[in-house]
Structure 1
Amino acid sequence: MRDLKEFNIPFIGLKQGSHLFEYEIDNKFFEAFNFEEFHNSKINISLDFVKKSSLFELTFSAKGVVNVDCDTSLEPYDQEIDGSFSMIVKFGSEYNDDNDEILIIPHEDYQINVGQFIYELIILSVPSKKVHPKVLDGTMDSEALKKLKELQIGNENPIEKEETIDPRWDKLKDLRITEKNT
């Protein structure tokens, strides 16, 4: 990942209080992370950066659309995303991002790059199973869906099913088990 300088926030010159940063994200942003699953993207990020005397509170909000392939039909569609994420940034002796909600940066740092946090927010806001809306409402007409219906278990014709039974198993139907009273 190359350095995304436009996502650097030089906090050393900021006054205490709330500051709003806004970013427009497109596919060029994802190229920096070598992420190529989105055909197109247009996402607005809003970052509420609250500077306090000994820490920062960051609240990220993402709203927009990414064009992705449906996992079922492989057809591209626009997936709306809407997500938010909050974290606290504290100062310490060395960088530590072991906790998802608390980031510790060295005392000598004078800026923070929020690009990685924006990337993670967007990726986690996209559903893990991406399904085209037309697949959900049953109006999708694609070759992939037709093939899936053909291969679906339980879609067999009962007449064909009887014809495919091995005749050796039919002999077992003739056996009757009788219970003995003891």
Structure 2
Amino acid sequence: MKPLKEFTIPFIGLKLDKHHFDYQIDKTFFEHFEYDDFNDVSVKTELVFEKKTTLLELHFKISGSVNVNCDISNEPYNQNVIGTFDLVVKFGDSYNDEHDDILIVPHGEYEINIAQYIYELIILSVPAKRIHPGVENGTLKSEILQKLEELSPKDLEEKEKSSEDIDPRWNTLKKLLTDK
């Protein structure tokens, strides 16, 4: 994977202050990561980049939607995504990204690429179970949902009726449990 150049921030020339960066993420961004679970992507990413004397603070905020397929009906729909992430960049002897929210870069570095952090923030903002809103409120009509309804287990009422048709000898045994 080649680093995306527009997501590389050369911080060496920036003043000690807050700097704002805005990015519009689309499907081509995810093609660089060879991720194809999304049908379409429209996510706005805002980055507040705060340069201090000994460290850098990055505050990511995303909002938008991704078009995904429903896990139940396989129908495509737009899933809203919102999320935030804070990253602290410190300077040290060698590169270290073992911690989720702390990145240590060598003292000689002069730029940082944030594409991986935006990618992970969007992926983790999508729910693990993707359910079409029409499935949740019952307005979506599709062949798959009809087949699932047809093959679903019987209602509890039918189970209670079948429990009434139990052999009467068992009912006599149940009386023994209550006659203490």
**TM-score when scaled to structure 2?**
0.87
Distance 1:144 1:46 in 2: 39
Secondary structure of the residue aligned to 2:120 is helix
> Aligned partners of 2:29 and 2:158: how far apart in 1?
54
User: Matched residues, percent identical?
Assistant: 49
Counterpart position of 1:165: none
Q: CA deviation at 1:154?
A: 2.6
Query: What's 1:66 paired with?
Result: 66
CA distance in 2, matches of 1:174, 1:86: 68
Q: Kindly tell me the number of residue pairs found equivalent between the two proteins.
A: 174
Q: Which residue of 2 aligns with 1:34?
A: 34
**CA apart distance, 1:42:** 0.8
The 5 Å alignment of 1:1-182 reads 1-155=1-155, 158=158, 174=169, 177=173
Any unmatched runs of 5+ in structure 2? Answer: none
Whole-angstrom CA distance in 2 between matches of 1:147 and 1:99? 46
Runs of 4+ in 1 over 2 A off after TM superposition: 154-159, 172-179
- Aligned-partner SS, 2:29: helix
Q: Deviations over 1:34-90 (max 9, x none)?
A: 100110111110000000000000000101111000111110001111111011000
CA–CA separation in structure 1 for the residues paired with 2:156 and 2:59? 53
Q: Secondary structure, in 3 states, of the residue corresponding to 2:38?
A: coil
Instruction: State the distance in 1 between where 2:157 and 2:148 align.
Output: 16
CA–CA separation in structure 2 for the residues paired with 1:12 and 1:139 = 55
Q: Distance in 2 between matches of 1:157 and 1:15?
A: 71
Secondary structure class of the residue paired with 2:12: helix
Deviation string 1:113-152 (CA, Å, 9 cap, x unpaired) is 0000000010011111111111111101011111111221
C-alpha RMSD of matched pairs (Å): 2.4
Q: Secondary structure at the match of 1:35?
A: coil
Cα offsets for 1:3-32 (capped at 9, x unmatched):
111100000111100000111100000000
The DSSP-based 3-state class of the residue aligned with 2:100 is: coil
What is the CA–CA distance in structure 2 between the aligned matches of 1:29 and 1:37, rounded to whole Å? 13
Q: Return 5+ residue gaps in structure 1 as ranges.
A: 163-169
Q: What secondary structure does 2:140 align onto?
A: coil
Q: CA deviation at 1:157?
A: 9.1
